[in-house]
Structure 1
Amino acid sequence: MRKKLQISAAAIFAAVSLFGADTLLDAARSGDINSQLQLAGEYFYGRQRQKNLTLALYWFRKAAGAGNPQAQYNLALCLQNGWGGKPNPAAAFFWYEKAMNNGVDKAAVRYAELLFMGLESDSYENRTLPAVPADHAKALDILREHTKKSDPDALLLLARYLFMDAPVHGRELRMLLEKYIENTATPDPEALVIYAACLRSGLGGMIPDPAKGAEVLRRAALMKHPEATAQLAEMLFYGFGGTLDRKQAIALYEEAIRLGSSRAMNDYAQLQLFGMYLPQNSESAFKLLTQAAGKNYPPAMRNLGNCYLSGIGTNQDIPKAFELFTRAADAGDGVAAYKLGRMYRNGEYTAKNLEMAFQYFHRSAVAGHPAGLREAGKALFNGTGVKADQSRAMDFLRRAAAAGDAEAAALLR
């Protein structure tokens, strides 16, 4: 849920009127701010003159430096996205703040986005801009303020961030989305996907209602939303929500793949690998997993690693498998982290390393994977690869047992 909001260039930059090319350039060179802004827009879009993002950036910078709020916002967008030069998030943050303080509401949303993530220091115009520590509380407050102004971009970004910490913000998230969906004729499909997740899991004090969650996903799927289509396919395939329809599920998976869903590529590939309701086809599965892993989808990276590890659909390549497992674990995949922990503990395909084993079991535990919780607990209890800590060990084992791990439950008896 952390991807950037997709905003079209046409919605970003103010429309520009048309002057004669030479007159406009002369006026911009003489220091006329409005001419500088218009000239930058013409270079950006390729209207009245050849498109040139480098020159667009130059003239946005001129107008921004002279204090024009719209130019400050446009310059920040260019710097964030690398339009006309290399991306520079720290400089983008600087100019978003300027534009925000000058009354550009949409700059506040982008400012909050960068503030939520935090930024490393970077150089800009012969100076060093300081690092920006992540400040989730301030970012959320900015987005709440702009959501009250009926800013749809602020609302959607706020919903994403609240969902990332749903146990804490579940009630606020539910109320936010219920009000938005009720009062909006055509809600954003991503908001529908997040609300469906609330319904399915019972976030915010709801009674879990998978059937209603499926209805909400269907609304978003009708809008050709890739993730909604893939999630609806999964629900129908396994009968979540009370309806089991594998034929429709497979058709939806195929539609979601056409729409570019990494989840659908990964899930469909698993069906092909095991021949579940589809002809077994390891080569096709390998291609789909490669495509999804190329989009940095953690489960696909892990499953592609399994293919390389065992030579399924491709030649065996142990180093490539380790690379993919590591990428998946680094991206928060608890299953991949658990797998690496086992490999290092047992010396499978690599040298035995108990310290590395614990590190990956701990990562798996942090991701909430029951087996990772169990193995991290066992390592802490016995001091295997880490200093013994029976208090922490018992905490991990209890959490593993609560998540349904039978071995952890047996160890606690």
Structure 2
Amino acid sequence: MNKLKYSQIILLILLAGVLYGQSNGSLAFKKNRPQDKRYTPGLTVDMQYRMAEKFFLIREANAGNPEAQHELGIRYLLGEEFEKDTTLSYYWISRAADAGHISASYNKGIFLMNGWGTKWNPFDAYSEFRNAAYAGMPQAQFIVGIMFTENLIIPRNLDSAYAWVKKADKAGYEPAKDVMQRLIAAGAKDDDAPPGNGKENKGETGSEISARSVLLYINFDPDTTKPVTDSLIAKELLDTYSRLPGSDSAFTNLTSPDSIKLDSTLIIAADYGSPEAMAALGRIYEKGLGTNPDRVMAAIWYLRAYKYESTLGGRLFNEILGSPGLINEIESRVYKNDKNAAYLWALLTFAGANYKIGVEDAKKILTDLAASGYVFALLDLAQYYYTGSYFTRDKEKAAGLLNMAYALGNNEAPVRKASYELRDDFNPKDAALLVSVLDKGIEKGSLIAQTMKGYCYQFGIGVEQSFTGASRLYMEAANRGSKAAFSFLRKMYDSLRPTSPEFLISEE
């Protein structure tokens, strides 16, 4: 029997493509195909052949041929000569993997990682990827390397991560080159990979396949040895929006520091709650890029970016706060009834960076600013009332303040309100409508919306439950700096974590 058509699915969390080799390969039946066009009345010779091929493929799969099982699983997934069925697809690919088929092990890992035709289980997925990695498949080696960076499935070990990615690179896997450099920069040592202890497989070798890498090493501790340049701010903004579904493409022209400019797109993104856009606005006001320099407004935008868990925002805020004369400038402008300065004065007090007034004075300033319609004060006051920070918790008052902010044209307010309602009511009657508010926020770069949509996927609130969808959104938000998203992600993984020491992860 000739070798079955060799199909490969190359994915990293999301499907990146299906590649074929020997597209005209077939079962032995093809060689001896009957030439009599009347073989089956009403059917063409081609239809007769396809029916016979399906019959032989199913027969071989049932007989235990792992190549046939893998091929049948692929065809069920793609709907090629068979009706699409992810459950049957997983069944046959799983049988092939259990029989030692390397590509099937890799693909089984993808099914488990995405919850296709089976329950989502990243730990079982890791075991399958590891088996394929030890058997020499470079794509699997690359993924195992990535998993050693995340501290989610297995403990983070950058040395092991580098060793596995290096193996993939030596095998010619192109995406590994960039990742190797990033791992070295993160502190990995250039050592050989640990000896293999997975299942060996002598019956198949990995093929040449390309895949899209979505690796982003999650590190909440910024590298303070490198200066924050305009180009770095522009790159962070561009990288974020290039990954958001349906997001604005207006930032694709950010190719140099000079391309950062004050425009409506940037303002709208910040207005929806994008920390990257906030940091960019801070730099614009600090340096006077297309507008008059204003250190107070720069500090406000940097601080707001930091409040949204932007590591760059935090560094930039600390830097500008230490600039000569800024505190005196803020105080002077407060006495001139400058609302921006008064807002920053109050927040510096809450942050313990301003001892010239007390917390009660800062609370009054924030309350008065909110009453006057100052949007930033409305948003922060709503958060304080909702969380019970500095003020007695009052969710109704928080909702009212957000309504006021929205009435004044702020777009972050409805995203926050939707998030509060989805968390508090858990599954409100208008959950689907609230989720649509989050979707709009995600398109514009809202980090809160991205994290909350992951929460909705995790618990099936307003959307069909999907641990894969939750994991993807949490991971994307965590890569943007959200510790809250990473905490949700870790808890979701912990709910399935095996007791094996291999998977035990200590708290960071």
Please give the range of the TM-score, normalised by the shorter of the 2 chains: 0.3 to 0.5
- Bigger fraction of residues in helix: 1
TM-score normalised by structure 1 residue count: 0.43
Between Structure 1 and Structure 2, whose CA radius of gyration is higher? 2
Higher relative contact order (CA closer than 8 Å, sequence separation 6+): 2
